[in-house]
A and B are shown apart, each in its own frame.
Chain A
Amino acid sequence: DAGVIQSPRHEVTEMGQEVTLRCKPISGHNSLFWYRQTMMRGLELLIYFNNNVPIDDSGMPEDRFSAKMPNASFSTLKIQPSEPRDSAVYFCASSFRRLIGLLNTEAFFGQGTRLTVV
């Protein structure tokens, strides 16, 4: 497997524009996470999905942010309208969560999308 694939790797956009970040999780994984990383705030969990259903979106900063997972192999994080303070590296991660017992498998992260809003 090629791992978690994120696109684009770099995105530069003007303030006010819509930005869509994409993620393809590892095949067979049933949990997907979106994180944002900045120097000031570190790695922040924005939202996570289990079996394509959003479970916890308490980390989504504002209504300008939205995330979808239409199927098990694709997720998007959209920012509309974008602002300079949204500039950060956005990571997507996936893992397999067993339904029975307390077993946890590791999360695999993509290479990230570096977003710059000017």
Chain B
Amino acid sequence: DAKTTQPNSMESNEEEPVHLPCNHSTISGTDYIHWYRQLPSQGPEYVIHGLTSNVNNRMASLAIAEDRKSSTLILHRATLRDAAVYYCILNTRGNSGGSNYKLTFGKGTLLTVNP
């Protein structure tokens, strides 16, 4: 499975933008880049995903490098509720065919937001 590399931790101030990097140099052409986050004592929560183009939704933006070997999750204005572990995941095709896939989580980045 293609692997991702993220910093162990990052710190931000409230209401400032946050850029969370992810390296995935072995990404294959059909791998989607997914971001999830896990708030304390909760299950992971979907944030955003993309393939080649940058993506925006109500939670965040995803900037994907032209060679797709890295991506950045952007939180435009961090709040205290954004303090969580953020996971960058490659959506890998399953071996049994095109209709199956699985999400393999790494250690993620622990984001601390200071008031």
Interface SS of B by simple majority: loop
Residue in B36, B91, B106 whose beta carbon sits within 8 Å of that of A104 in the complex:
B91
Of all chain B residues, the one with the shortest Cβ separation from A44 is: B105
Interface SS of A by simple majority: strand
A45 touches B99 (CB 8 A): no
A108 touches B42 (CB 8 A): no
Query: Could you tell me which residues of chain B, from 84 to 99, have a CB within 8 Å of some CB in chain A?
Result: 87, 91, 94-96, 98-99
B45 touches A104 (CB 8 A): no
Of all chain B residues, the one with the shortest Cβ separation from A97 is: B99
B100 touches A108 (CB 8 A): no
Contacting residues, chain B, for A4 (C-beta < 8 A): 43
- Contact bitstring B28-53, A, C-beta under 8 A = 1, else 0: 00101010100000111110010100
A38 CB to closest chain B CB (Å) equals 12
B49 touches A109 (CB 8 A): no
- Residues on A facing B (Cβ under 8 Å): 4, 31, 33, 35, 42-45, 48, 50, 55-56, 91, 93, 97-99, 102, 104, 106-112
> Could you show 5 A-B contacts with beta carbons less than 8 Å apart?
A31-B100, A42-B108, A55-B102, A102-B30, A107-B46
